[in-house]
Structure 1
Amino acid sequence: MSIRRAATAFGAISLGLITLSACDKPTPAATVTVGSKSVQAEATAACRESGGKKLPESVFVTCLQNTPKHHITVPVGDQVRIGVDPSIGKKGWLIAANTTLVTNEVLKDKTYWSLDSAQLFQQSDPQTGSTTVAKSVTLNIVESSDTTGQESYRVIQVKLIRGK
């Protein structure tokens, strides 16, 4: 191989390595599946931990109330299946419909959970106790090691729209 070819090859390899090192590591995501349709979402930059630090409580509360970028239609009676990245499953995660906790305990070492859609769209009025069926709900998938929200590291959101 000539010196010119060797130098060109070395330059191409070096440039490739520099380009790869500049790439950000992909952030862990969640996939929500209803029937044969799926949507994949990740936490926004403001709603995910940085450097292993948990989200401050004020940021966590704001993240729960944000408007999701992704949505999926859920026909009445269908199952909502949620899958998370293994790194989220290892730390633990929770599911909330709007701000109401759906899972009673942290889903630790689990990467998949399934819910009945009827459960997600029912909302109770705390003053009257009456139950109504919502047209849509924000599914909050929270990476957390506890159920209080004090140890939360990311909030991933998907809007569920009730179908027919």
Structure 2
Amino acid sequence: MTTAPATTVFSRARGLRSRRGAAALGAVVLSAFALSACEKPTPLAQITVDDRTASAEAQCYDDGKDIANEELESCISERAEKSITVDSGDRVRIGVEPEIADNGWVLFVDGRLVTSQPSKHTYVTFSGDQFFNAQSEPGQPPVQSDKAKVGIVEIDDKGNYKGAWSFDLKRKQY
């Protein structure tokens, strides 16, 4: 009596399982490699006026590492990617993600520091009109502007810069 080797049926099944396992492992490795090539998104900052919101990722951000002063100035001076229109009397709400608020953040308008102490809040409300009062000479009335560049800068307790976001505010024209 001739018998087929008992391992024939089982060895085929085992071979099929090991090929499936190898394919699955290859897919996992390939997915992990593809994800590692993607950049992690930066925290968001946003400006809300009435029911309109402009959100932006950081113009400068290195995953929580310190940013040099020169690099920060360069980023803030770049053109903002997002803008929003503000009407006279509007309330402007500036919001940041909790990880930005944990460190603290300050606000610049047209290169001038507006908040003297870093805020640890996730959002703060301002009068829209105060963004359009440009610096004037002492003793002169404030000059009104139709545009304002708003910079949000994350800063830690040691005074190190961590990130920068910027927006253009435009006064509504009638």
TM-score, normalised on structure 2?
Answer: 0.79
Q: Paired residue for 1:163? A: 172
**1:31-88 CA deviation, whole Å, 9 max, x = no partner?**
11111111111222xx3347722322x3333333322121111122111111112221
- 8 Å Cα contact 1:97-1:138 kept in structure 2: yes
Q: Is 1:31 equivalent to 2:31 in the alignment? A: no
CA spacing shift, 1:6–1:141, aligned 2, 3 Å: same
The runs of 4+ residues in structure 1 deviating greater than 4 Å are none
* Alpha-carbon shift at residue 158 of structure 1 (Å): 0.3
Residues paired across the two proteins, number: 157
Two-structure CA RMSD over aligned residues (Å) = 2.1
Secondary structure of the equivalent of 1:54? coil
How high is the sequence identity, in percent, across the aligned residues?
Answer: 33
Equivalent residues in 2 for 1:1-164, closer than 5 Å: 2-3=16-17, 4-44=19-59, 47-49=60-62, 52-56=65-69, 58-108=70-120, 110-126=121-137, 129-145=140-156, 151-164=160-173
* Alpha-carbon shift at residue 17 of structure 1 (Å): 1.8
Whose radius of gyration is greater, 1 or 2? Answer: 2
CA spacing shift, 1:60–1:21, aligned 2, 3 Å: closer
**Structure 2 unaligned blocks of 5 or more:** 1-12
